[in-house]
Chains A and B, each alone.
Chain A
């Protein structure tokens, strides 16, 4: 993989130039009390003081609400305005952690499973992902247990690793990344050969996700196990909404009089309404079954059908959870029980 060097001043120039060239630049920004991915208009808005952002980077390709089309009914005549693909901006996504970047791989496997989701893929195609290796981790991080690592290049187009002097090691991962580097070639200099590994956060691998994959199917019918696992779960959708790989959505029509639009918005298998039938029957009637679905989807259905894991080990769900449902811990219980 080709390596280059980007000084901190050149990094600033790069971002400033990208904004100047009308790229939509999305980066971790501290807003009020939280750090999240937001569209920026100046380099100074960026923060690097985070382990991961609250919400995942998926919002760039899979926003929480996506208007699919507009419609208007007048005198029995229906006019429809289709999705405007030209409205999707060329974006550069900055400061994406390797776990988050890999999340796009899992997400894409869902959105391109049988029929290709054109909106999602176009959004992602027009996004260049500049990853940022992790130099710190917390108790929630478990990427190394989920086949990732704090310096993994998978998913990023370019991966930056911050050195102690504030400059960055640049790894050019994809053609898209190479193109961006070529476009601003004067800002990148020759690699100084710094040792990347020593700069990375240490994340202990407490379990192997392969063991979860091997074991989880045999636990499917163990209702008591899942009930016990989910005792604490209060059934909100926080885990799914912050997850970089959760792709479930709802389709809603929002109309005022004869005018309106159809929207695709996030949904979560943790909510009881998710599987409620019109008849009133709910095939997943308790939280245990809903929690099982969440874990089975990530560690059984996605590996089986899409050949990818549905969990990247970012630990966001556990951080967002009001009752500390720590997913890594649950994985370990599956292995142990």
Chain B
């Protein structure tokens, strides 16, 4: 990682992407030799429709500072409608997280097609910048730490 300043915070980022568009797009980013932030760990899914909101909760619980979710553009879903279903789910989920006081800027949603290698690099770089500015997910980490405890509450 290119950091000279040891104090600078590097966010841990998980990307949940669909196999058919964004994963292929990310592949293209690589074969096009476009550089992008290395903070991101990509997890490949068959379809954005398969990305359960609980996976996002688990990512945060396991120390993610930010999450990227990406799949095929509307009307381009390999399974016709998986991304449309996913979109509805995210609309509800994002607002619910906001309602319980989670910063929804820690989750970035995007449509990246197999041809958009450059867009993927851009999405990742900008997201990582955004997460870096937000700093570590301390609120969530504090809650996890408090959860370890038992005793009389």
Contact = CB atoms under 8 A, between A and B. Distances in A.
Q: Is A–B contact present in the complex under a CB 8 A cutoff?
A: yes
Interface of A: 24, 26, 37-39, 59-60, 63-67, 256, 261, 263
B151 A39 contact: yes
> At the interface, is chain B mostly helix, strand, loop or mixed?
loop
A59 B152 CA distance: 6
Contacts, number: 21
Contacts of A63: 150-152
Q: How would you classify the secondary structure of chain A's contact residues: helix, strand, loop or mixed? A: strand
Contacts of A67: 148, 150
Nearest to A265: B150
A66 B62 CA distance: 22
Contacts of B148: 67, 261
A154 B113 CA distance: 73
A256 B62 CA distance: 7
Given A24-B152, A26-B152, A64-B150, 12 more contacts: A38-B152, A39-B151, A59-B152, A59-B153, A63-B150, A63-B151, A63-B152, A67-B148, A67-B150, A256-B62, A261-B148, A263-B150
A263 B147 CA distance: 12
A37 B150 contact: no
12 contacts: A24-B152, A38-B152, A39-B151, A59-B152, A60-B152, A63-B150, A64-B150, A65-B150, A66-B150, A256-B62, A261-B148, A263-B150
Interface string B6-30: 0000000000000000000000000
B148 to A, nearest CB: 7
B62 A37 contact: no
Contacts of A59: 152-153
Contacts of A64: 150
The 4 closest A-B pairs by CB, nearest first: A65-B150, A63-B150, A59-B152, A26-B152
A59 B150 CA distance: 10
A60 B151 CA distance: 7
Contacts of A24: 152
Residue of B62, B148, B152 contacting most chain A CB atoms (<10 Å):
B152
A30 to B, nearest CB: 14
A126 to B, nearest CB: 13
Contacts of A66: 150
Interface in B118-153: 148, 150-153
